[in-house]
Amino acid sequence: MSKVAIAQVQSSTDKKLNLRSALALIRAARSSGAELIAFPEFLMAFSPGSQSAEELTQIAETTDGPFVAALRAAAKAAGIAVLATIYETFAGANRVFDSAVWIDAHGNVPSVYRKLHLYDAFGFKESDKFHPGTDVAPLVQLGEIRFGTMICYDLRFPEMARLLALQGANVLAAPSGWVQGELKVDHWQTMIKARALENGCFVVAPDQVGNIYIGHSMIVDPLGRTLIDLGEKEGLEVIELDLDLVRETRAKLPLLENRRTDVYAQHATAKLP
């Protein structure tokens, strides 16, 4: 088993304040025996709709910047792995990457995932501020856990979750800033459970709360059971993930083995009429 902490936070527009809160939560998670703390999307700062792409770029940093450096130092000092999110800038950019940065318990960065699917839906257009990533990230190993990484809107694309599962992921981590709206809590809970059920894996989905976000950070098991739901308040919860349940579920419900790839391949490039 591995102990995982899930953090539900309300990020402000003040990057320094958000970092201070994150460092305190890292220490609290380790004190609770967690081997990993997973933060939601937009940990670095809340970006209001009135903020321009140029203004967001000024907040953004590289993965070698002071924000990640402080998180790396805290992870190493506490001896805990960290999944954090940043606005990642790059040379000549007028937009930023929405990036999930994995930090191990030694302060190293084994993987960075840049959000593939930008939230151009329900009246939002993330592509005005963000540049899309170009590939999935390598799986991240923590004991028996092999994490596949997604971010928020990626949850609506089952192809991505399935690809990560086929690469060997037994836990999907999906830091999110799920926006409020009609039926949006239902959508959130349904997507997380569906991704867990169809791939026979755990889903760890820390979410932003407050501002324009729904909260309800969740951890769901391979049978679709909700193990944690943090509701609508900031908080931190720690839970043990039993990887035997992944093995048992995949043996009894072998969805990954029963796929008809011979048929799927004929339609892999299908488009809407």
pLDDT band (50, 70, 90) for residue 268? confident
Question: Dihedral of the CA atoms 184, 190, 191, 193 (nearest 10)?
Answer: 150
Residue 182 has pLDDT above 70, yes or no: yes
- How far is 219 from 224, CA to CA, in rounded Å? 10
Q: Beta partners for 251?
A: none
- Mean of pLDDT values over 7-33: 98
CATH number for 2-267 (one of 3.40.50.720, 3.40.50.2020, 3.30.420.40, 3.60.110.10): it is 3.60.110.10
Task: Establish whether 115 is a catalytic residue.
Answer: yes
Task: Establish whether 234 is a catalytic residue.
Answer: no
pLDDT mean across residues, the chain: 96
Q: What is the pLDDT of residue 270?
A: 87
Catalytic-labelled residue, pool 35, 88, 152, 201: 152
Catalytic-labelled residue, pool 35, 88, 115, 126: 115
pLDDT in tens, 145-180: 999 999 999 999 999 999 999 999 999 999 999 999
pLDDT in tens, 115-133: 999 999 999 999 999 999 9
- How far is 138 from 169, CA to CA, in rounded Å? 10
- Mean of pLDDT values over 40-55: 96
Residue 1 has pLDDT above 70, yes or no: no
Whether the predicted model's global pTM rises above the 0.85 cut: yes
pLDDT in tens, 87-108: 999 887 889 999 999 999 999 9
Task: Establish whether 233 is a catalytic residue.
Answer: no
- Mean of pLDDT values over 226-249: 97
Give the strand pairing for 145-149 and 140-142.
antiparallel
Catalytic-labelled residue, pool 15, 35, 41, 193: 41
